């Protein structure tokens, strides 16, 4: 047995998104319990030129839906970046999980060799599906997932590795 | 075509480790150029009960060598955690890259269904190779990679996403 591109990608994104949802759920409960200003966490950054928590979560979901859509040969759904609360960020994560789980596994057949066209800052590049998934989408996804977690931990939110892993 | 477990795992760890090496190389150069105390960065943490930079790098390399060894049916090499400088951390990363690149791709055949026995804090559990790779080793690897990056960025080290991705 070997792995299909569907098996290689979708479960990884789903587990990561479920972990992120659990982390944000605990953060929201702690904000509530301690009477903290939710905005102070939602807009927190690790450094002035890094993205705040809200944006980290938006980008993590974007890499999940964008990568799976491209591997399945679908148009990438465009979602407005309008979340302003933990509840809305969690709803966006649920939407991303539903989207990637709803894609037809058969549509991923041959995705490893498919040309993926990416446009960033006006520049277009073409990479093969496997190189895109392994070299760009997946490491970027984990980058934003972990940075969201790191922002919360740095601010004293009591979450642990098992939350991040989606095992809590 | 589908993916072998070797294709699914080794290139991901190698790219991540090369990115981490690039990030640490830039950090060391900045310490030197600014006359900073290297120990202040090497022992920096995002929160008092999180691991410092040195340990993040050690654990990232441990997940790379440990996962690839287990998938290839090899004994996991035990390395002492003795690094005290950027140069020694980079040497450990080079050692991890050489180890995972040196494993025989054929030894990964069928690894997705192989029983992997893990012992953590005295408790033993058995998981299949694919679940171990996707659910535990890979997300943990990226967690420590990104947290190392986040510690450096939080302390003002000038590195960017392309460094993390190994594209710089």
3-state secondary structure B64-106: HHHHHHHHCCCCCCCCCCCCCCHHHHHHHHHHHHHHHHHCCHH
Q: What is the ipTM of this complex?
A: 0.97
Q: Best mutation site among A63, A121, A142, A145 for testing chain B: the one with the most B CBs within 10 Å?
A: A142
Of B110, B147, B156, the CB nearest to A150: B147
Beta bridge partners of B125: B118
Of B110, B143, B150, the CB nearest to A164: B143
Q: CA of A60 to nearest chain B CA: how many angstroms apart? A: 14
Q: CA of A5 to nearest chain B CA: how many angstroms apart? A: 7
Q: At A104, give phi and psi (nearest 5°).
A: -75, 120
Of B1, B149, B154, the CB nearest to A112: B1
Query: Measured between beta carbons, which residues in chain A are less than 8 angstroms from residue B135?
Result: 15, 165
Task: Report the alpha-carbon distance of residue A8 to residue A29 in Å, rounded.
Answer: 33
Of B2, B134, B135, the CB nearest to A2: B2
Cα A65 to Cα A41, A68, B3, B48, B98, distances in angstroms: 25, 5, 21, 35, 34
Average pLDDT on B135-152 reads 98
Cα A7 to Cα A10, A71, A110, A117, distances in angstroms: 6, 12, 12, 22
Closest-CA residue of chain A to B46: A154
Give me the pLDDT at residue A157, please: 98
Q: Are A92 and A61 in contact (CB under 8 A)?
A: yes
Q: What is the pLDDT of residues B35-77, one digit of tens each?
A: 999 999 999 999 999 999 999 999 999 999 999 999 999 999 9
Give the model's confidence band at B1: pLDDT under 50 very low, under 70 low, under 90 confident, else very high. Answer: low
Q: Are B28 and B38 in contact (CB under 8 A)?
A: yes
Q: What is the pLDDT of residues A21-77, one digit of tens each?
A: 999 999 999 999 999 999 999 999 999 999 999 999 999 999 999 999 999 999 999
Task: Report the alpha-carbon distance of residue B149 to residue A142 in Å, rounded.
Answer: 12
Q: Which domains does chain A have, with CATH numbers?
A: 52-168 (1.20.120.450)
A-contacting residues in B 44-103 (Cβ below 8 Å): 46-47, 50
Give the model's confidence band at B116: pLDDT under 50 very low, under 70 low, under 90 confident, else very high. Answer: very high
Residue A1 scores a pLDDT above 70: no
Among B140, B61, B165, CA closest to A137: B165
Task: Report the alpha-carbon distance of residue B16 to residue A167 in Å, rounded.
Answer: 24
Q: Output the CA torsion sign for A70, A74, A77, A78.
A: positive
Q: CA of A115 to nearest chain B CA: how many angstroms apart? A: 15
Task: Report the alpha-carbon distance of residue B99 to residue B65 in Å, rounded.
Answer: 7
Of B50, B134, B149, the CB nearest to A11: B134
Q: CA of B117 to nearest chain A CA: how many angstroms apart? A: 18
Inter-chain CB proximity B47 and A156 less than 8 Å: yes
Inter-chain CB proximity A3 and B1 less than 8 Å: no
pLDDT over 90, % of chain A: 95
Q: CA of A121 to nearest chain B CA: how many angstroms apart? A: 15
User: Taking CB atoms and an 8 Å cut-off, how many pairs form between chains A and B?
Assistant: 100
Q: Which token pair is A46?
A: 């690790």
Task: Report the alpha-carbon distance of residue A167 to residue A159 in Å, rounded.
Answer: 12
Task: Report the alpha-carbon distance of residue B74 to residue B55 in Å, rounded.
Answer: 24
Among B74, B76, B141, CA closest to B105: B74
Of A15, A46, A156, the CB nearest to B150: A46
Task: Report the alpha-carbon distance of residue A148 to residue A157 in Å, rounded.
Answer: 11
Task: Report the alpha-carbon distance of residue A57 to residue B36 in Å, rounded.
Answer: 33
Give me the pLDDT at residue B26, please: 98
Interface membership of B4 toward A (CB under 8 Å): yes
Query: Measured between beta carbons, which residues in chain B are less than 8 angstroms from residue A11?
Result: 134
Q: Which token pair is B44?
A: 């920096």
Angle at B13 between CA B9 and CA B16, to 5 degrees: 140
Q: Which token pair is A84?
A: 């302003």
Q: CA of B61 to nearest chain A CA: how many angstroms apart? A: 16
Task: Report the alpha-carbon distance of residue A148 to residue B95 in Å, rounded.
Answer: 30
Average pLDDT on B16-23 reads 98
Among B99, B150, B129, B166, CA closest to B4: B129
């Amino acid at each position: 047995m070997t792995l299909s591109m569907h098996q290689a990608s979708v479960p990884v994104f789903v587990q990561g998104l479920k972990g992120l949802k659990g982390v944000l759920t605990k953060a929201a409960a702690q904000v509530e319990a301690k009477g903290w200003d939710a905005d102070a966490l939602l807009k927190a950054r690790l450094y002035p030129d890094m993205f705040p928590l809200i944006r980290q979560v938006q980008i993590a979901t974007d890499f999940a839906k964008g990568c799976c859509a491209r591997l399945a040969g679908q148009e990438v759904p465009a979602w407005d970046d309008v979340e302003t609360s933990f509840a809305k960020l969690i709803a966006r994560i649920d939407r991303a999980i539903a989207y990637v789980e709803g894609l037809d596994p058969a549509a991923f057949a041959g995705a490893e060799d498919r040309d993926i066209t990416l446009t960033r800052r006006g520049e277009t590049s073409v990479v093969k599906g496997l190189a895109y998934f392994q070299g760009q989408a997946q490491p970027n996804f984990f980058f934003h997932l972990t940075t969201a977690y790191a922002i919360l931990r740095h601010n004293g939110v009591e979450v642990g590795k098992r939350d991040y892993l989606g095992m809590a």
